[in-house]
Structure 1
């Protein structure tokens, strides 16, 4: 297949996914990478036209991905993008028949999200102070990054949602903020007193200092050293650094704090529908994964609630 032709069509598709479907920059980047993988296969399989891609091609593509040592979850994601892309090609009359079946016998294994304990959250926050003190960094970084950690953990925000926040999105009176989530959907999320105090400290003392030599009309909530909006990548990088400094696992990233928020809410007795609303999940099935509890929490709940747990009233 001609590279220019493929790039032209795929760019049209990605542009529509961005401006019509309202998919996030991170999602579009993932789609683009998956389409590049598809292009490599089309070249290797000598497929010159999209119309030449048939159901046997789908099977060969999946087999090729498997033999290329892609993880099962990556293959499932690439299959999803393939299905969406060819459905779009069919809707635009680039092809007469959509070759990708609605159901392909390959499911992504359901893995429980990895979460931090409350003690580990405290260690992560403390690491922000120690890390910046040891490197003799300005207190601005400490105040800003603690506010970031406490807001993600206290509200369950996605990192992209946090990075997109503006100053006037924060409502300190009602302890809530307005965010634009996946699919360009607006929702209200809540935060607590700890996050509020950290935000006020950052916004009243340190944020003005970051804007001292830059555009004072900048409305972004979290700023870089250049007075511009702090990027998603920078937030991810800094949280991973703090986790490493705190002696926590290498898998800790911003989404781990979101997982921890949801899990701790569920462990604390929150209604799953409330958690679903706060996380911005379109389906309760997505939130259902957070109904898992730790062994200690399960034992505690059982011993307190079950009549045959073996605890006499006199022992309570």
Structure 2
């Protein structure tokens, strides 16, 4: 099991006893099909909804475990509308339309299970009336819209190599007068350049990078073996290709991984950090990689660049040389619908190529 999945499963098991029995049944039903990370998000969404029910006086329960099926059955449509408004306007942090849609979808899944799948002791549906069936969940992000938002915020063409080069050299010039920043640069530049190069030449997700172990690397065949999102077989790692351009950075980093980061032999992680004051290196965290990318991106003049946009950068570049099905497979998408964004992102590049061909 991946590091992230294991952590989320522990959190899931900690939260479940604080939920009503019918939620626990639903999670057990979904566990074979959905990752612990997704189910953990479901529980957080249900916590939010149940807390709102109590605050609005729509239940007599004083805690989540006391919420009843009857509380859900007698909800009116105006209550659902009220909850949607609460999510969009609450003072402690307004949710985006995408987040609101996801939270309502989580509720629809629970209500659907209780009214259409789960049975009581008399073989009747556990939930007799499903108000959430009336709620239409509109698709918020179409591929074309997502592509429009990404344009100008990813690396294109020569910028992919330039960004790796900047991490190796340019950033050091920019922070030379800051002793602490320059020391960190000298310590970590090969590792950081390796991480960025690997994402830009394979399209890995940050969680997949974090979970990589040294023995997941097949250098000769340019393969990495990763736990892919959505694959619930916790014994299977998917082979993912990386391009030739990443080999140099990988070779250099691997040559110094053990000595520079004081990596103990028992540590399997590919990417290591050595925290201040500690005598041994350990696996880098997801947050550390995200913050590292943001640090370099700001100095590079791409303040909107994030670790996930590096994945988009690779995918856009890869799609120009391959079809949508190969791109889908490389990225580990569940359907080509998700991959369509890169077709729209490359429209401009393709139109320029056509113009050049016509000019010739």
CA distance in 1, matches of 2:297, 2:248: 23
CA RMSD of aligned residues (A): 3.0
Q: Which residue of 2 aligns with 1:222?
A: 271
TM-score by structure 2 length? 0.73
- Determine the C-alpha separation between the residues in 2 that align with 1:64 and 1:17: 29
Deviations 1:267-299 (A, max 9, x none): 23x111000011111111111121014565133
C-alpha offsets along residues 32-90 of structure 1, whole Å, 9 cap, x if unaligned?
Answer: 44333323322222232342223513333223223334221111111122223334555
Q: Gaps spanning 5+ residues in structure 1: where? A: none
Confirm or deny that 1:38 pairs with 2:49: yes
Q: In the superposition, relative to structure 1, how do residues 36 and 243 fare at CA in structure 2: closer, same or farther (>3 Å)?
A: farther
Match of 2:80 in 1: 58
Shift of 1:23: 1.5
Out of 292, 299, 310, the residue aligned to residue 238 of structure 1 is 292
Pick closer, same or farther for the CA change 1:105–1:168 going to 2, 3 Å: closer
How far residue 128 of structure 1 moved from its aligned partner, in angstroms, is 2.1
Alignment of 1:131 with 2:156, yes or no, is no
Residue 313 of structure 2 is aligned to residue 260 of structure 1: yes
Q: Is the 8 A contact 1:156 1:278 kept in 2?
A: yes
- 1:2-51 Cα offsets, whole Å, 9 max, x none, are xx9983349847974896345254x4554444333323322222232342
Aligned pairs for 1:107-186 within 5 A: 107-110=139-142, 111-113=145-147, 114=150, 115-129=154-168, 130-131=170-171, 134=176, 135-137=182-184, 139-184=186-231, 186=237
Q: Which runs of 5+ in 2 are unaligned?
A: 1-14, 60-66, 121-125, 177-181, 275-279
Tell me the CA shift for residue 302 of structure 1.
2.5
| Structure 2: distance between partners of 1:202 and 1:77 | 40
Partner-residue secondary structure (3-state), 2:272: coil
Shift of 1:229: 1.2
Q: Which 4+ residue blocks in structure 1 deviate beyond 6 angstroms?
A: none
2:336 matches 1:284: yes
If the length of structure 1 is used for normalisation, what is the TM-score? 0.82
Q: Look up the match of 1:76.
A: 101
Q: Which moved more, 1:43-52 or 1:124-133?
A: 124-133
C-alpha spacing 1:174/1:284, structure 2 compared with 1 (3 Å)? same
Q: How far off is 1:160 after superposition?
A: 0.3
